[in-house]
Amino acid sequence: MDNPENLLILRTVQVTRYVSPLREGGSLPALVEADDGFLYVLKFYGAGQGPNALIAELIGGEVARLLGLKIPELVFATLDEAFGRTEPDEEIQDLLKASVGLNLALHYLQGAITFDATVGDIDPLLASKIVWLDCFLTNMDRTCRNTNMLVWHKELWLIDHGAALYFHHSWDNWESQAERPFILIKDHALLPWANRLEEVDVLFKAILTQGRLKTIVDLIPDQWLRAEGVFSDTDAHRAAYLKFLTSRLEHSTIFVNEANHAREISV
C-alpha cells in the first residue's frame, strides 16, 4: 500500500562556516560546513532567482531520488542573522544577509569529477531514465556544455535542478504548459543514448503516484512560497505544483514522443 507519509524526511542543519564561493554558479552557491561536521553545496534563498530555484532543486532532486537515480542528500540549511557579519566580500555579505532563515544544500561529493558524455560507454537504460526525468521536470540545464552530472565512486550522480520547472517564474498559462512537449530536450547531453524511453515511461509512471508527488511538494517551506497575487495562500501554491506534476505525468506520451523524434533527428 502506498504510504506517502513515511517516504521523505529532509534533515535540517545549521550552517557554521562559509568555506568558499563556487563561482561557476550564476547564483553564487557556496561550499559550507554545517553543525553535523559535513560539507555542503549551499543554494541561497536570497540569490538572483530567489526561492523558485530552491523549489525546483527540491522537487527535482527528490523526484529523481524516488525514481532510483543517484542524488546527493538534500538538506534544509539555516543561516543565522549574524552569520555574514565578518564576511569581507560585500557581494557575498549581501547574499548572506538576504538568505537568513531556511536555505537548501546538497551533500558535497568530495573528489567527484564532471561527467563527460564523449568519454566511455553510456548505459541506454540509465540515459533514458535521466532524459525522461528532465522532460518531465522541463529541466533545460543538462547539456554537453553543462552536464550537471558527476562521477563519484564510479557511479553517475545528478546535481543542480534549479533551472527545472521554469514555468513557475511567471505562472503564465502554467496549466497548459503541463501538456506541452519539451523541445529543449534536443540539446540534452544523453539524448543520443536514450533509446528506451517508452519502457522507462511505464516504469516511472507506476512509481510517481499522486500521493508520492504530494509528499515531495509538501516539503516546500512556507518561507519559499511567495507568489503574491497569483495564489490565495501557500496551500493553493503547493496545490498548483502538484497539479502541474500530475498533469504532466498524465500527458507523458507527448514529451516522450518529442524526445524520440529529437533523438532520431540527431543520430
Q: For position 172, what pLDDT does the model report?
A: 87
- Single-letter amino acid, residue 205: K
Per-residue burial over 198-207, b = 16 or more CB atoms within 10 Å of its CB, e = otherwise:
eebbebbeee
Q: What share of the chain in percent tops pLDDT 70?
A: 93
Q: For position 81, what pLDDT does the model report?
A: 85
Q: Which of 264, 83, 254, 233 minimizes the C-alpha distance to 176?
A: 254
Determine the Cα–Cα distance for residues 106 and 149; give it in Å rounded to an integer: 13
Q: For position 3, what pLDDT does the model report?
A: 46
CB under 8 A, 24+ apart: contacts of 116-125: 116/147, 117/144, 117/147, 117/189, 117/190, 118/144, 122/190, 122/193, 123/193, 124/193, 124/194, 124/195, 124/196, 125/196, 125/199, 125/200
* Surface-to-core class of residue 253, CB atoms within 10 Å of its CB (0-12 exposed, 13-18 middle, 19+ buried): exposed
pTM higher than 0.85 for the full model? Answer: yes
Note down pLDDT in tens along the chain; length 267 residues: 344 444 568 999 999 999 988 866 556 799 999 999 999 999 999 988 889 999 999 999 999 999 999 999 999 999 998 776 667 778 888 888 899 999 999 999 999 999 998 877 799 999 999 999 999 999 999 999 899 999 999 999 999 999 999 999 889 889 999 999 999 999 999 999 999 999 999 999 999 999 999 999 999 999 999 766 789 999 999 999 999 999 999 999 999 999 999 999 976
From residue 125, alpha-carbon distances to 117, 130, 161, 190, 231 in Å are 15, 9, 21, 11, 39
